[in-house]
Amino acid sequence: MYKIFIDGQEGTTGLQIKERLEAREDIELIEIPGDKRKDIEVKREIINHSDLVILCLPDAAARESVSLAENETPRFIDASTAHRTHEDWVYGLPEMEPDHRRKIAEARFVANPGCYPTGFILAVRPLIRLGIMPKDYPATVHALSGYSGGGKKLIAAHGSRPLEEVDRIASRPYGFSLKHKHIPEMQKYAGLTHAPVFSPQVGHFYNGMLVNIPLFPHLLNRKSTPDQIRDALIRYYENEPFVRVMEGPDEDHLEGPFLSPLGCNATNRVEIFVFGHEDQILLTSRLDNLGKGASGAAVQNLNIMMGAGEDTGLIA
């Protein structure tokens, strides 16, 4: 039986991971007493007697926890941004390429992807690998996330706002420095030579996400229609249980003129839509920022590292 320690289980992601794991009979969840959470020696003891540690901490605290390992036994899944582009850590997005699951299964250190990058990479990386999209494409990303992605402070701020104020702030853009912490992993794992321009927004809903990537067919290596892009993505992900490339008329996926960011909530699924016409294409990824964008992805990586069924405890 695997001994699992969630370091930071009181946070939003940690609580979601615990919820997905606590009923399982193939693991033992090790918990640190509430009054000992900041006791480094207690944490050191727990880490070194765990088979796998899931880090749900700020970046500096995640690095500190890794440094407490004194033997080769504990393996790590880090949900922070601390190690996502680190050369000694395997990026925990199994669907990136056919051999990537083996790399995760054999790794001691796995960096859980960010929520926005998950939607971006899964939409863009196949097009670059297939030679459809040039590596130097001037990519832009416009994304909308539920406020749970901002952690406890943002959750508290939204939860306390009166209804009439909520109506005025249904969606708020941010990241105007164009230096969002997710950009390095977006560029690296999509395979781009230049960083994308990333414009995120937070909406007044708890969880859910849309990631939009506009494409100009005349800038691609070969001019492609939306149907051709869709067909290429369908073939690329045909054996992936957690990635669905959506077929059928666009209007079948819309609520009137709108696409809901909530459609994948409570699942570990990413849906990829291809909208547009011969002159302009829009790729849209929809996912649960707390599911495939965080805790669900951590459990998926845990399952792979344990050799358990990849979908154990997860909903596709």
Residue 276, beta-bridge partner list = 281
CATH number at residue 82: 3.40.50.720
Same domain, 59 and 158: no
Report the percent of the chain where pLDDT is more than 90. 84
DSSP code for 224: -
User: Is 257's pLDDT higher than 50?
Assistant: yes
pLDDT for res 289: 97
User: Is 127's pLDDT higher than 70?
Assistant: yes
Residue type, 173: P
Please, are residues 152 and 12 in contact by the beta-carbon 8 Å criterion?
A: yes
Q: Rg of the chain over CA atoms, in angstroms?
A: 20
Residue type, 218: H
pLDDT for res 38: 83
Same domain, 275 and 137: yes
- Residue 316 is assigned to a structural domain of this protein: no
Please, are residues 73 and 48 in contact by the beta-carbon 8 Å criterion?
A: yes
pLDDT for res 287: 98
- Residue 248 is assigned to a structural domain of this protein: yes
Same domain, 178 and 282: yes
> Between β-strands 209-215 and 243-245, what pairing exists: parallel, antiparallel or unpaired?
unpaired
Instruction: List the catalytic residue out of 32, 79, 115, 294.
Output: 115
DSSP code for 11: S
User: 10 Å Cβ neighbour count for 21?
Assistant: 22
pLDDT for res 214: 98
Same domain, 162 and 281: yes
| Average pLDDT over the chain, rounded to an integer | 93
Same domain, 229 and 168: yes
Among 42-56, 105-119, 135-149, 155-169, the least confident range:
155-169
Same domain, 136 and 202: yes
Overall number of domains in the chain: 2
- Residue 312 is assigned to a structural domain of this protein: no
Tens digits of residue pLDDT in 141-193:
999 999 886 555 555 555 555 544 544 557 889 999 999 999 999 999 999 99
Range of the domain at 283: 115-289
Same domain, 164 and 260: yes
- Residue 311 is assigned to a structural domain of this protein: no
Same domain, 152 and 96: no
Same domain, 236 and 283: yes
Same domain, 148 and 252: yes
Same domain, 84 and 119: no
Structure tokens that stand for 309 in this block:
């069924």
- Of 305, 306, 304, 297, the residue nearest 20 (C-alpha): 297
Same domain, 160 and 208: yes
- 248 confidence band (pLDDT: 50, 70, 90): confident
Please, are residues 60 and 80 in contact by the beta-carbon 8 Å criterion?
A: no
CATH number at residue 260: 3.30.360.10
pTM: predicted TM-score of the whole model, two decimal places: 0.94
Catalytic annotation on 115? yes
Mean pLDDT along residues 30-57:
93
